[in-house]
A = this chain, B = another copy of it.
Amino acid sequence: MSVLIVGSTALDSIKTPKAENPRLLGGSASHAAVAASFFSPVKLVGVVGHDFPKKYVRLYRRHKIDLEGLQRLPGKTFHWSGEYEANMNNRRTLLTELGVFETFTPTLPKSYQTSQFVLLANIAPSLQHHVLNQMRRPKFVVADTMDLWLNIALADLLKLLPRLDGFMLNDGEAHQLTKEDNVFAALKKIHKLGPKYVIIKKGSHGSILSGPKGFFICPAYPLHTVVDPTGAGDSFVGGMMGYLATAGNSINGSIRRAMIYGSVVASFCCEGFGLTQITRTKRKQINQRVKKLEMLTRF
């Protein structure tokens, strides 16, 4: 089955202590779509401007991503620029040019509206609502978010949560949302806001799922060198949704393994700037890392 993914489609200018890379393909939907494409067909919903490079359209196409839902508007593509500190955890935004994103309203092609697996990747909660309003009985809807929406669109986000099957956020955001320092106490509170499956991402410390079958402690794949963590969380949830869409099994029966696949895809994402490394990755390499993670956690 295919996954419908809505989110940002952007140009990212990324600076780390070791290098600087201008105008890479980025955005939550780009990262999630490429990650999901290793496992299932992807239908992309997003918007780009007149300056969006053709090579990035070709990149989507190489990953067999359905672009019927990608709007092309007059104006500039969303451009984000950020800088990472040496520890690769702290980053600061240098520049945000919304461009065509400012007036973006995602309208779903008819062929998208019956998708069973829906990923509302990081984007304004009002747009996540807008996409859901156009869907007909999806089977499994997951949303990601970011601290910005907790700050400026909390009411919209709180209204979204009961509409979701799964919700994903990082540990800092979970603290911001619940005021709980303890991750397990935070998970409990977030369930009360609606979603049956809640995943808290902890960067290089892995992630924690809380669902009907209890907790799952999901490791991050060990990396000696992180080149650029931008999009790692998007890759994680994209990989997870892609895997779930083709697993066939029940969600409960597949979600742990789906998270492991997401975790591995995210590790490849971190090994190159933007999408450069992940687009070179083969499914076989992903399977090898999944096997290795099994070895690394067995006791």
Contact = CB atoms under 8 A, between A and B. Distances in A.
Interface of A: 86-89, 181-185, 188, 202, 204-206, 208, 214-219, 222-226, 256-257, 259-260, 294-299
Given A256-B298, A297-B297, A299-B257, A182 B219 contact: no
Contacts of A223: 182, 184
Given A202-B205, A205-B202, A216 B181 contact: no
Nearest to A87: B181
A112 to B, nearest CB: 31
Nearest to A290: B299
Contacts of A202: 205
Given A202-B205, A205-B205, A219-B217, A182 B299 contact: no
Given A202-B205, A205-B202, A205-B205, A217 B185 contact: no
Given A205-B205, A217-B219, A299 B256 contact: yes
A224 B296 contact: no
A260 B299 contact: yes
A243 B223 CA distance: 30
Given A224-B188, A296-B215, A299-B260, A86 B205 contact: no
Nearest to A88: B181
A76 to B, nearest CB: 35
B185 A86 contact: no
Given A202-B205, A205-B202, A205-B205, A296 B214 contact: yes
A186 to B, nearest CB: 10
Nearest to A208: B222
Contact of A182 (B185, B215, B217, B225): B225
A47 to B, nearest CB: 36
B215 A222 contact: yes
A251 to B, nearest CB: 14
A64 B194 CA distance: 50
A296 to B, nearest CB: 5
A32 to B, nearest CB: 21
B297 A222 contact: no
A187 to B, nearest CB: 9
A174 to B, nearest CB: 13
A294 B299 CA distance: 8
Contacts of A222: 184, 208, 215, 217
